[in-house]
Amino acid sequence: MLIRMRNSSDISPSEITPQSIYLDRRRFLAAGALGALGLAVGPGRTRAADAPAASPPAAAGTPPKLAPIARSPLSTDDPQTPFEAVTRYNNFYEFGTDKEDPVRNASKMHARPWRVTIGGLCAKPGAYDVDDLIRANRLEERIYRLRCVEAWSMVIPWVGIPMADVIRKAEPLGSAKFVAMRTLLDPQQMPGQRRGILEWPYVEGLRLDEATHPLTILAVGLYGEVLPNQSGAPIRLIVPWKYGFKSIKSIVALEFVEEMPPTSWNRQAPNEYGFYANVNPAVDHPRWSQARERRIGEFFRRETLPFNGYGEQVASLYAGMDLAKWY
Ligand SMILES: Nc1nc2c(c(=O)[nH]1)N[C@H]1C(S)=C(S)[C@@H](COP(=O)(O)O)O[C@H]1N2
Ligand SMILES: [Mo]
């Protein structure tokens, strides 16, 4: 983004996943074929190591089995980006700025036990163990497109909690207009926080009507299993019609506020990243075009869609706003 921004067409061949592994990855795992495809993950980063223990209930710090998971009509049927790409090609600057730094370094983070506080302008503030939050809510699979402001995209089968459910239970006051969110601050666990790339902790925010929109989820898993650390474990935002940087990872706090809260990338470069950051192919980033994108795993670039293809559901949220100004 601000640092080390490569030309969007400059994705190395190793980052482009062969179409062939869209086939059932379990079959490939069983056949030991990932190595043959050059897609073996690094030491200790096999999917099995990230999977929840098969054992029964829930010692503190043991991730729960994510079940039941309801399917959702809000999912896309675009082909899904393979698990290996979703969990190796990441932006998570708390662990470094190279795409594979998060998978290499995020095992330092203790994603469990994990507390999330919900507070600010609401009648029912609280502090929750993330697994209690998960058990208290319904889980849905949401297969969404993710469009990074850097002009690449993926299709990811998240498992998440509709954010509206969490917000409703907190009973925000009439004066609450925005939800501010914050990532863990702990340079011991997050070595990237020893460098001043961004002001830490990472912060983000949504208008309350955006946060309670049915498409907005708090993701706690992907591909049916708990989130790997590099993907923002144990809980992260997904707001699929906005550029990826809005989808803040490893959240420790939600706060209802009256004024538009500061957001990390807007604070870093206000002329490049807006608060709203809705995907908009008609408004270029000052340093590159947003008209097209590279879907990871595909060879040809494809056109970027307004609101990342979710315009029918969300455009009305922005009626009357100048989207060129607020991109
Ligand atoms: N805390 C935190 N959240 C973050 C980021 C980050 O650096 N730190 N990067 C953002 C960006 S730019 C993108 S594109 C997405 C990437 O999510 P993924 O790695 O799961 O694909 O996470 C977003 N959330
Ligand atoms: Mo991004």
**In this predicted model, what pLDDT tens digit does every residue of 182-200 receive, in sequence order?**
999 999 999 999 999 999 9
Residue 58 to residue 37: CA distance in whole angstroms? 36
Q: How many domains does the chain have?
A: 1
Domain assignment of residue 281, yes or no = no
Lookup: tokens for 120:
């600010």
Percent of the chain with pLDDT over 90: 78
Output the pTM of the full model: 0.85
Q: Which ligand is nearest to the CA of 85?
A: 1
Domain assignment of residue 318, yes or no = no
| 89 in contact with ligand 1, CB cutoff 6 A | no
* b/e burial code for range 66-81 (CB count within 10 A of at least 16 → b): beebeebebbbeeebb
Q: Is pLDDT above 60 for 5?
A: no
Domain assignment of residue 18, yes or no = no
Helix/strand/coil for 241? coil
| 244 in contact with ligand 1, CB cutoff 6 A | yes
Query: From the CA of 30, how far away is ligand 1's center (Å)?
Result: 30
Q: Which atom of ligand 1 is nearest to the CA of 237?
A: 24
Q: Is pLDDT above 60 for 298?
A: yes
Domain assignment of residue 99, yes or no = yes
Q: What's residue 47's pLDDT?
A: 37
Domain assignment of residue 213, yes or no = yes
Per the DSSP assignment, residues forming a β-bridge with 303 are 292
Q: Atom 11 of ligand 1 has which residue's CA nearest to it?
A: 245
Q: What's residue 43's pLDDT?
A: 30
Q: Which ligand is nearest to the CA of 154?
A: 1
Residue 2's nearest CA partner among 247, 205, 242, 288 is 288
Q: Supply the range of the domain harboring residue 228.
A: 60-270
> How many angstroms separate the Cα of 108 from the Cα of each of 190, 191, 235?
7, 9, 16
Q: Average of pLDDT values for 45-67?
A: 55
Tell me which amino acid residue 145 is: R
Domain assignment of residue 108, yes or no = yes
Domain assignment of residue 296, yes or no = no
Q: Which ligand is nearest to the CA of 184?
A: 1
CB 119 within 8 A of CB 253: yes
Neighbours of ion ligand 2 (CB under 5 A): 91, 148, 244-245
**In this predicted model, what pLDDT tens digit does every residue of 250-259 receive, in sequence order?**
999 999 999 9
* Residue 326's pLDDT band (cuts 50, 70, 90): low
Between 13-27, 136-150, 206-220, the lowest mean confidence (pLDDT) is in 13-27
Residue 150 to residue 316: CA distance in whole angstroms? 26
Q: Atom 23 of ligand 1 has which residue's CA nearest to it?
A: 245
> What is the domain-level CATH number for residue 260?
3.90.420.10
CB 162 within 8 A of CB 215: no
Q: What's residue 50's pLDDT?
A: 40
Q: Average of pLDDT values for 263-292?
A: 96
Query: From the CA of 272, how far away is ligand 2's center (Å)?
Result: 13
Q: Is pLDDT above 60 for 162?
A: yes
Domain assignment of residue 191, yes or no = yes
Residue 93's nearest CA partner among 288, 249, 251 is 249
Query: From the CA of 210, how far away is ligand 1's center (Å)?
Result: 19
| 245 in contact with ligand 1, CB cutoff 6 A | yes
